[in-house]
Amino acid sequence: MIMKIKEIPFERKWYSCPHCGAHLLIYDNTAQSNNVFLKCKKCGNEVEIKIKN
């Protein structure tokens, strides 16, 4: 079974905390995420990561 690549990852961005602006993670233009929660190390708030492309 051969999988076809829809898009080549060429752009990387930082996902920032909406409360304090700290950088949480790096994602590329092919990323998709829903219902993933991270705790910010700077302010301690729990942040839901939503990435749609």
Task: Pick 9 or 44 by higher pLDDT.
Answer: 44
- Averaged over 43-50, what is the pLDDT? 95
Q: At residue 43, does pLDDT exceed 80?
A: yes
Q: Reply yes or no on whether the pLDDT at 24 is more than 70.
A: yes
Whether residue 45 has pLDDT greater than 70: yes
Domain boundaries of the chain, sorted by first residue: 12-51
> What is the token pair recorded at 18?
């909406």
Which of 52, 6, 50 lies closest to 25, judged by CA?
50
Report which of residues 49 and 3 the model is more confident about. 49
